A and B are shown apart, each in its own frame.
Chain A
Amino acid sequence: MTTTPQGAPSASAPEATAPQSGSAVPVGAALALGDDALVLSHRLGEWAGHAPVLEEEVALANIALDLLGQARVLLSLVGDEDELAYLREERAFRNVQLVEQPNGDFAHTIARQLYFSTYQELLYGRLAAGDGPFAPLARKAVKEVAYHRDHAEQWTLRLGDGTEESHRRMQTALTALWRCTGELFEPVDGLGLDTAALHEGWLALVSRTVEQAGLTLPTGPRSDGWSAGAGRQGIHTEPFGRMLAEMQHLHRSHPGASW
């Protein structure tokens, strides 16, 4: 960001540290991680004005903000963040299908958070321990995501161990999104990390919370024809197009607009 005293306001955001010249950032992996964060951020942002209580509205917005910050850094590593967020077509997004699933009721949002934040914390933890192009972001974001996971776990306990109605809804949500969890452990092109190796730790953490909440770990398919699993290849579920339309329409209608 550079300005002169007379100059116009600088660009939309301070530039994140550019990768060192020579250390190529794998585009596919940056898009995969960045799109996961961007899309989930947008979904969580949809709760603004609709959350069950004010504190929870603020909490979901704060989690969305953390994710948006991660997305901006990741997308900026491989291109212009605004162009990537607002001008790509649906098939160019590389996020897992889990994060694009509609918010549903509050239990669905919490189930999505539990599955995803547990995965993301483990993933960032591994990236943070390495020295690849994503390590600086991962070292920072892993601490933020730990709070996201804690938030999701506490709500899973509350809802599972709450009333009959909240228990029923939480179980329904866990079961409904289960088919989207296999995809989390598919290989990510260029990431340089065995994502399948994250599964054991993920299952242990999720199982522990689900059991403590008096809920049952779903047993449905996760990796066959009836499961989700091609988001990383650009194949998305039907609600994603509508989400993108809402997310992108302002920017597309008024290119270059600012306020």
Chain B
Amino acid sequence: MKNALLSLFIFILIHHSTAQNNSKLVISPIQNSVTFSEFVNNAEHNLNIKFFYKENWVDSLIIMNYPDSTELSTILHDAFMLSKLSYIIDGSNIIITNDNKLQTSLPEDFFTNKPAINIKTKGTEATNSSFINKPEKKEVQISNSITVIGNPKVISSESNCSISGKVLNHEDGQPVVGAQIYIQKLNIGTITDPSGYYVLNVPVGKSELMFKSMGLKDLSLPIHVYSNGSLNVNMEKSDVLINEIKVIAENNNNVKNLNMGVQQINIDKIKQITATLGEVDVLKTALLLPGVQTVGEGSSGFNVRGGSTDQNLILFDDIPIFNSSHLFGFFSVFNPETVKDFKLYKSGIPATYGGRASSVFDVEAKQGNLKKYAISGGISPVTGKLTLEGPIIKDKLSVIIGGRSTYSDWILKQIDSPQTRKSSANFYDISTKILYLLNDKNEISFTGYLSRDNFTLNSDTAYHYQNKCAGLFFKHYFSPTVYSKISGIYSNYQYNITRDDDPELAFNMKYDIDYKSVKSELHYFPNSKHNFIVGSEITRYDMTPGNMTPHSSESDITEFKLPKEQSIETGLFLSNEFKISNRFSAYLGVRLANFFILGPYKDYEYNPLVPKRVESRMDSTQYAKNEIVKTYGEPEIRFSSRYILGVNNSLKFSYNKVHQFVHMISNSSAISPTDVWKISDPTIKPLIGEQFALGYYHNLFTNTIEASAELYYKKTRNHLDYKSGAELLLNPNLDVALLSGIGRAYGLELLLKKEKGKINGWVSYTYSKSELKIDSKFAEDRINDGEYYPTDYDKTHDFTIVANYKHSRRYSISSTFTYSTGRPISMPVAKYNFRNNQLLHYSNRNEYRIPDYLRWDISLNIYENLKSNKTISNFWSIGIYNVTGRHNAYSVYFKSTESRKLNGYLLSVFAKPIINVSYNVRF
């Protein structure tokens, strides 16, 4: 078949060149540009010739003005230059052929004005190489007609015009994020933003626009630009997308873009990596990236570049999620079926984001299919999932709704044992996204999210916690270069602890935090050298720090309510990404972050001569409702720059400063479901984080391997810690229980990544340090005598290998290997006898470390039915987690036993190889 096509192609080319020799037809001067049909009508009329072609091949072809009489062959040559059309002049018959199906790739200089004979040779070569040498090479879709942009009647006075538009996935209408759009010949290009939008400054006239994106067929589009205009394109899905792992947007981007410490992985790649208990997990995948760590396997919180878990802004379509874990942290709250991708900013946080000092973890919800309905479902050892998506109005209004739930309760019921009868542990989450494309200028989308966890463990006390979120987004395109986005965001996190076995002691404890925000931003691309974003954000926090109420009429529980807290956070931001020279680009952003604590509030004044205690309160001021108690705020600078050193390498630098006004108060090293979020108050100052980062990026072996080295230094002020033994829940004097200090973290991250090919993946190594210093003039308010001590998540060395091997389109094997230094832990420095028992004394925090962590996972993915017009596609994943069965320590602890002996224990969460199978189906 391939050979037949090849022969046909050569045949056509031969005829093409023969035709060149016979052309002696001359066309009289053409004054104004005419459409090809008009030209044909004229030519047929004047020269008594006959054209043979299909109307739709030429519908966008324009014949430029030729002031002098010109040979027909020249005109046709010019006209077809950017299309896939060829012509044969056979006497008075001009036969136009369309050979686009034959070509798989184009030579770089294909579009330069070279004699046809060269086209033939080059074309043949390209065909040969693409068929024989590079079977995995992606197919290039080549448009056979020139797309006209702007009004041909208007002669642009400028040499450059802006074109803008959206790049959408042909199959489901999803925007294609991070697609590259460029004109290779001119070395200009851009990438699409999260909504698939792009703006590119292009010269007036004809050029060849190339669209490239991972997993999609490359698209080559000849354009003829007359003036500013828009161009929306649909990109087709490539059949072979399952073999590639993408971490950073695109190969060239790593060197050329301004992103630093930014990692993006889309859900197809996440699904390939071995999952904990067969449950694909967005957050756990992020842990494989350099600079991202966790205290232990069972904890969902993660630490980015030595920052604490609450310093990550976890967003689901711009909505902050306060508790990102299900089932105490074994799974994250994101259902992989409704997630499109995630983007993690470890440094160089754009000015549009504020409020968390370490990172932004931006999970983007999948948008419903705009073309057709689809149902997908899956089952893993832990959960069942069902997702429904489709167009309500084709190409206009789409919806996706996905739910996930555990059947752990069902498992518990099967185990008919007295303990399990009273126990339950379950969770579910539902997310939805509705997209309405009103017209070319306006679009509205809605994202809703609900997650809930319940557990009762053979006890009378039941725990519930839930995230409830919604976001409404309105996007308006004013012109090709200006668009605005307005969002209204609501997020609520609450937990409840209830007990009702004993009516006398029945209670309900409630914690609740409410986040309401309105954000507006305006994007302006005046030309290819600048990209402005200006905007504002206003957020109101309402927090119920703890309400204890009786839960039955007979209950003797005292009603106890901590005063509510409320505050407003504002952010004004302005940023510009600008190109200074071909080599040097920079991003400069300023965010003016302010925080207003509102009354009612009782502010205590403490005696500065003694340690801060309830007894050292001297005076208090009562503030009335909505009175401003205290204001915090400062401008924050966000700066990134890139300097291209050579063809394949660049140097980047970034600096950012962030104020954080909400803090998670936790006295355990992992996030626990009852940790409380606390908003800054007059005594709890906002945390201020600053980061300097320097990176070197180098692409090797013609962009097949990306290498990068990033160096960072971070410092934080007003880092909270708590006094030993502090009670954090329902504590009316929480400010007294807390200490504050400074933190510093630094490290080096090395990453080698291969995105394409049968074997792909990455290898990373991180050296890092993260330390805190809590000093005070009072000994009891110091930790470790006011010296720097390592944080709970300080892991000096971290080494990760993620490797995927694609055996065929049906089978792929994925393997991950992680090694890291054990986390710091406090160990006893002395034992002592007390009441005939041996007890332990701990002094300095985090002086010791638990044993090093090492884990190897492997999984086999089987894709069934890969036909392009499949009605049902199945996907199996069989994995082994912790292949070596190493007893990785979660913690080391010591406990007095009843026999009065003291023992040391090592708690390991997954201490044996765990085999899991999960199955997914899509209709």
Q: Do A and B come from one complex?
A: no
B interface with A by C-beta (< 8 Å): none
